[in-house]
Amino acid sequence: MKQDFYIIKDGEIKREENTIYFINQFTKRALPINNINSIYCLGSNSISSGAILYLGKKGVPVHFFDYYGWYKGSFYPRQTLISGSMVVKQAEHYLDSSKRLYLAKKIVEGAIKNTLRNISYYRRGHPSLRENQDRIKANLDDLKYTESVPQIMQVEGQVKKTYYRALDEIFPEEYQIIRRTRRPPGNKTNTLISFGNSLLYTTCLCEIYHTQLNPSISFLHEPGYRRFSLSLDVSEVFKPIIVDRIITKLINKGMLNDSCFVGSIGNMMLSDKGKRLFLREYDYRLGQTIKHRGLGKKVSYKRLIRLELYKLGKHCLGDKKYEPLVMWW
């Protein structure tokens, strides 16, 4: 099974004959390109045109992050699974307001229900989370009566505020979110959320590459220039399942310390040590398996993302109504 490859150190990616190397002043390492699903450049990295051409031939995306761990862009190889009918149908579901509204509601419904599953899980040791849980359930009811995408986004925003308040009840004071801040993240947990969400966005983008869906046509988030907005849509369903569970594990099991972060309150980012720790847990989470109810066999969390995209594609083609993945385990 192909794996993601993470580069944290500064250096250059070059091609020599039919081998891709990562090179800096300390090392020259050959990358096992036939076993790589995608490459994540989390340091100050340059890449030669020869390497780009070879990676494109092999169908390996390369994702670039800045010094702060923010996603900056991707080299996205030429798509091989091209379907004109899929693009037309996908665009139709964006342009038709009723069709778009259905998908936008379903995506947020999945995100909210997975959020509730997390709270139910954490409530075992924190009965006080009941109030937060009830408030989010009320928001889920409100979702039924929304009549536009902005109204749906407003409900989603209310849910996230309540959800973060619930997490603060189970986190030690040092790791409380207080309020969501992004550019730059204001404290330790905001830093973890931003880094995890960036990783999940790129994972969703890689999975879209292996389907006939167009990554720039979305339903909840507005399509725009220079972003693959369908990745933003799909990642909403999986943030509670993947990113939030990783963060909660890291914090509540005491796996983090001050050396995992650099900067000060109000302007913070993960250190190399913090990135390595998060990436290790992220890779582990993506590789975990559960028995799929419909398929009757074990599938990885990463595979669940691909299956979710297949469901969206079938919906656009009129084969089967889309219902979002909701954790049953």
**pLDDT exceeds 90 at position 244:** yes
Query: What are the structural domains of the chain?
Result: 3-75 (3.100.10.20), 84-316 (1.20.120.920)
Pairing of strands 62-65, 71-75: antiparallel
Q: What count of other Cβ atoms lies within 10 Å of the Cβ of residue 18?
A: 9
pLDDT of residue 102: 97
| 41 close to 62: Cβ distance less than 8 angstroms | yes
pLDDT of residue 225: 64
Residue 321 vs residue 225, higher pLDDT? 321
Pairing of strands 28-30, 19-23: antiparallel
Residue of 59, 55, 63 whose CA lies nearest to 19: 55
Residue 13, both tokens: 């990616």
Rg (CA), the chain: 20
pTM: 0.89
How far apart, in whole angstroms, are the C-alpha atoms of residue 90 and residue 92? 5
Cis before 184? omega within 30: yes
| 110 close to 304: Cβ distance less than 8 angstroms | no
**pLDDT exceeds 80 at position 302:** yes
Structure confidence by residue, pLDDT tens digits, 46-91: 999 999 999 998 889 999 998 777 888 888 887 766 788 899 999 9
Structure confidence by residue, pLDDT tens digits, 195-219: 999 999 999 999 998 899 999 999 9
**pLDDT exceeds 90 at position 296:** no
How far apart, in whole angstroms, are the C-alpha atoms of residue 106 and residue 325? 10
Which single residue is written with the structure tokens 């966005």? 201
At 180, the pLDDT band (50, 70, 90 cuts) reads confident
pLDDT of residue 293: 85
Structure confidence by residue, pLDDT tens digits, 98-131: 999 999 999 999 999 999 999 999 888 788 889 9
How far apart, in whole angstroms, are the C-alpha atoms of residue 311 and residue 314? 5
C-alpha distances in Å from residue 13, one per residue of 2, 44, 214: 19, 11, 28
How far apart, in whole angstroms, are the C-alpha atoms of residue 54 and residue 88? 31
| 234 close to 305: Cβ distance less than 8 angstroms | yes
At 21, the pLDDT band (50, 70, 90 cuts) reads very high
pLDDT of residue 73: 87
Summary mean pLDDT of the chain? 91
C-alpha distances in Å from residue 115, one per residue of 159, 178, 237: 9, 18, 9
Enter the DSSP assignment of 223: P
| 46 close to 81: Cβ distance less than 8 angstroms | no
Residue 3 vs residue 97, higher pLDDT? 97
Share of the chain above pLDDT 70, in %: 98
| 129 close to 115: Cβ distance less than 8 angstroms | no
| 299 close to 288: Cβ distance less than 8 angstroms | no
